[in-house]
Amino acid sequence: MGTVQAIACSVKSYGRAMAAACYAAMPGFLSGLKGKVSILTYHRVLSHSELSTQYVQPGMYVSVDVFDRQLQFLRRHCTVLSFADLLAMWATRQWDITQRYCVVTFDDGWLDNYRHAFPLLKRYGIPATIFLPTDYIGTDQWFWPDRISWLWPRWNKQSGAEQHRVWSAVSTQHAWCQGLEQALMGGDIESLLEGCKPHSYDRIDHFVQSWADALGVLLPSERQVMNWDEVNEMSQSGIFFGSHSMTHKILTTVSDEELLQEVQGSWDALRRRVVRALPVFCYPNGNWNERIGRAVEVAGYEAAVTTEFGYETGVPGNLYALKRINMHEAVTCSDALLGFHLAGWNHRHG
């Protein structure tokens, strides 16, 4: 990040912190959430030592100590429901408009959810639902953004001439990725990751492997996601598990046949296991449309969650397009910032 960008980010962060402090001091703090349910989206919960040794996308994590404080905040200010309870309340039309409801969800089934989040959820008696890409569970597979993030510092260590040699070899094999050159050469990993998302999983996978080969490195294989024994242990302590597809492919890029397999196959995999299987689907990367929503409904799911910011009420607008609130470190690392974020002020003002 350049100096001007860094200064702009610092100014924006300071302004947000000041606004959040003012909001937290207002008599009507969080009153706008009454009668609504905030479905929270978490991904990773990481220690500071873990964060110091790897690149993790800023919107993908909270630190352990921040997560601890957030759970205490939610217990004080919200009625925290399991997703199963939320579905039951919607079905029976039992809704208290004076309550601030909240549901905790996690995407992807990261191993750190088991190591770091699970003990804290148990300590505070907070129910949660984790959406699993079922083909990854119990394997050493990495999600492609994390393989790119792992390659990134190894790429940056190369000289300019070596980078051009490597990129020439990769782009010759994969003409589509020539459009990524500006982000790569400009040191902008976030743009690189975003530039990959519209493409098929197989295309991205081949690109990543070619990049590793050209750099002369072996891609990592340390386990990043939970195994089924860990899923079972968490189920016994009240954690629910929903589907995040089988392979985490972006479903707007797959055929009708693949869509059916990803949606139905993942639900079948959950029901074969001795786990608390929740009939709720989570769209990978939030990408969905009416075709995908219909496939999810036909497969037997009762609801599906998106990445669109917002709240639900006692009568959800669309059970297969439920809104959520993404939780990440930068905008939720204090009680004031968390309240500000939950109230929607970050979304309103960017």
Taking a C-beta distance cutoff of 8 angstroms, is the pair 20, 83 a contact? no
**pLDDT for residue 181:** 83
DSSP 80-129: EE-HHHHHHHHHHT---TT--EEEEEEES-BHHIIIIIHHHHHHHT---E
Summarize pLDDT for 16-50 with one digit per residue, the tens.
999 999 999 999 899 999 999 999 999 999 999 99
Checking if the pLDDT of 138 tops 90, the result is yes
Which residue type does 68 have?
A: D
Percent with pLDDT over 70 in the chain: 96
The C-alpha atoms of residue 148 and residue 209 are separated, in whole angstroms, by 10
The H or E element containing residue 36 is none
Q: What count of other Cβ atoms lies within 10 Å of the Cβ of residue 221?
A: 10
Checking if the pLDDT of 320 tops 60, the result is yes
Percent with pLDDT over 90 in the chain: 83
**pLDDT for residue 4:** 44
Taking a C-beta distance cutoff of 8 angstroms, is the pair 41, 326 a contact? yes
- pLDDT class of 347 with cuts at 50, 70, 90: confident
Q: Which of 227, 271, 245, 266 lies closest to 114, judged by CA?
A: 227
Summarize pLDDT for 255-299 with one digit per residue, the tens.
999 999 999 999 999 999 989 999 999 999 999 999 999 999 999
Taking a C-beta distance cutoff of 8 angstroms, is the pair 309, 34 a contact? no
**pLDDT for residue 62:** 98
Q: What count of other Cβ atoms lies within 10 Å of the Cβ of residue 94?
A: 10
Confirm or reject CATH 3.20.20.370 for domain 3-138+225-246+253-349, answering yes or no. yes
Checking if the pLDDT of 203 tops 80, the result is yes
Checking if the pLDDT of 2 tops 60, the result is no
**pLDDT for residue 226:** 98
Q: Are strands 79-81 and 37-42 parallel, antiparallel or unpaired?
A: unpaired
Taking a C-beta distance cutoff of 8 angstroms, is the pair 64, 85 a contact? no
Query: What is the average pLDDT across 202-212?
Result: 93
Most confidently predicted of 67-71, 151-155, 250-254: 67-71
Query: What is the average pLDDT across 289-317?
Result: 97
DSSP structure class, residue 184 = H
DSSP structure class, residue 58 = G
Checking if the pLDDT of 5 tops 80, the result is no
The C-alpha atoms of residue 112 and residue 248 are separated, in whole angstroms, by 18
Residues of the chain with CATH 3.20.20.370: 3-138+225-246+253-349
Least confident of 147-161, 180-194, 333-347: 180-194
Query: What is the average pLDDT across 308-335?
Result: 97
Q: What sign does the CA torsion over 202, 203, 204, 208 have?
A: positive
Query: What is the average pLDDT across 131-154?
Result: 95
Summarize pLDDT for 90-130 with one digit per residue, the tens.
999 999 999 999 999 999 999 999 999 999 999 999 999 99
Checking if the pLDDT of 211 tops 80, the result is yes
**pLDDT for residue 68:** 98
Q: Strand (E) positions, 168-267?
A: 240-243
Checking if the pLDDT of 7 tops 80, the result is no
Is pTM beyond 0.75? Reply is: yes
